[in-house]
Amino acid sequence: MLAVMLQEPRVTSQELAAMFSVSVRTVKRDIASLTAAGRIAYIGTAKTGHWQVLG
């Protein structure tokens, strides 16, 4: 997921779910874990923002 976010920072949860053949709920749970661990951050508004991979 991190590699996809690096390549395409504006990727959506729905697009990630389709890429990995999992539910949107699973993607959102994984994103929450990565955010809590300080690995990713969402910069900007929900409509025009993007993902930033932190480390």
Q: Amino acid letter at 33?
A: S
Map residue 7 onto helix, strand or coil. Answer: helix
Residue with tokens 């993007």: 50
Distance CA 1, CA 20 (A): 9
Q: Where are the beta strands (DSSP E) in 1-55?
A: 40-43, 50-53
Q: pLDDT, tens digit, for every residue of 30-52?
A: 999 999 999 999 999 999 999 99
Across the chain, what does the average pLDDT equal? Answer: 96
Residue with tokens 């539910």: 23
Does position 55 have pLDDT exceeding 90, yes or no? Answer: no
Give pTM, 2 decimals: 0.90
